[in-house]
Amino acid sequence: MQSSQKTHPDMRVKGGLPRARFLFVALNYGPDAWVRALARLEEEDRLSLAEIDIEKWYSLDLLDRLDHAVVEELGQSEDEAFAALGEFSATTSLSGPFASLLNTDIHSFLSQSALIHHSYQDFGVAKYDALSDTSGLLTIEYETAPPASFCASGASYFRRAIELCGARAAQVTHARCSARGNAVCEFYITWQK
């Protein structure tokens, strides 16, 4: 069972993120796997996730505990599971409310993603800088570092997102991370046309 530790009390994410976790587990491993993942959480968390509303705000701590419960339930490494969760989150969110963001101009897509950053999380300040025709740097500055799980799934989210925009051989390097003690999170993004 996960601890109810609250290290990010004022940081919240929109319901699309926990909903993506639910869909990922239920569609890929069956609804019973979701029930077992939830059983790893304390009752307060289970009640919060009983009906996930994509318009509602959920604590980042709850998302982190949920991510770790999913990892434990699936028996995968954290790297594998967080990558899969990030990819799936991109696929579901960019086929839903944010589908209109998809753009074959990858720089435009990433710039727009930085601009709407607060549509899906209420913390951090994001900016995007194009570095070449096929590379850029997404920088997010946080007052309080998010959990490493959030950054790991975020890197996979952005890789999959630009693939959905038409990028080939997409790669995201998360060289600097607030969770690892750096001043900012930097996602160096490269692709081929």
Residue listed under structure tokens 């025709």: 133
Q: What pLDDT is stored for residue 169 in this prediction?
A: 97
pTM: 0.91
| Secondary structure element (H or E) that encloses residue 189, with its range | strand 185-192
Residue ranges with strand state E in 21-62: 57-59
Q: What pLDDT is stored for residue 95 in this prediction?
A: 86
Q: What pLDDT is stored for residue 100 in this prediction?
A: 84
Q: Is 147:179 a contact under the CB 8 Å cutoff?
A: yes
158: buried, middle or exposed (CB in 10 Å: 19+, 13-18, 0-12)?
buried
In the chain, domain spans: 12-85, 99-192
Q: Can you name the residues that pair with 187 across neighbouring β-strands?
A: 138
Phi-psi region for residue 16, left (φ > 0), alpha (ψ -120 to 50) or beta? alpha
Q: Is 97:54 a contact under the CB 8 Å cutoff?
A: yes
**What CATH code is assigned to 99-192?**
3.90.1520.10
What is the C-alpha to C-alpha distance for residues 148 and 118, in angstroms, rounded to an integer?
A: 19
Q: What pLDDT is stored for residue 97 in this prediction?
A: 67
What are the backbone dihedrals phi and psi of residue 131, each rounded to the nearest 5 degrees, phi first? -110, -30
Q: What pLDDT is stored for residue 5 in this prediction?
A: 57
Q: What pLDDT is stored for residue 6 in this prediction?
A: 64
Helix, strand or coil for residue 85? helix
Average pLDDT per 10 consecutive residues for the chain, totaling 193 residues: 61 95 97 98 96 95 96 95 95 82 93 91 96 98 93 95 96 94 96 94
What is the C-alpha to C-alpha distance for residues 180 and 127, in angstroms, rounded to an integer?
A: 20
Name the token pair of 30.
Answer: 């069956």
